[in-house]
Amino acid sequence: MREGARRQGGRSRRQEQESRARQAFELPEEGGYSGYVAEIPGANTQGETLEEARENLSEAIQLILEANREEFERKFTPTAKVTRERLVLAQRKFRISDWGFRN
């Protein structure tokens, strides 16, 4: 087995990494914070503080998921042969040190 594909609890490291998304926050020259999730197109925001940017990004992701869900519901009728399963992504509290910069 290759180094990058070692098993952890029945899943390879590659599978574990692929199932996670990272939110990133930048410090623009004009001040505040810009945040985005590269794996979710359109998930970007800004805030005066890091906490505000986190909250705004969470809200942006929720809005994207709701809009996509509504689009899905318009395309498929309740009688369509589609298997629907609930997916819950846990939110982790990030520390500023996780991203390599400090206030």
Distance CA 77, CA 70 (A): 12
We report the CATH number of the domain holding residue 48 as: 3.30.160.250
**pTM as predicted:** 0.60
> What confidence tens digit (pLDDT) does each residue in 7-30 have?
445 555 544 444 577 899 999 999
- pLDDT tens sequence across 25-47: 999 999 999 999 988 999 999 99
Q: Does residue 59 or residue 21 have the better pLDDT?
A: 59
Q: In this structure, is residue 66 part of a structural domain?
A: yes
Is residue 67 in a domain? yes
The CA angle 63-65-69, to the nearest 5 degrees, is 115
Residue 36 lies in a domain: yes
Number of domain units in the chain: 1
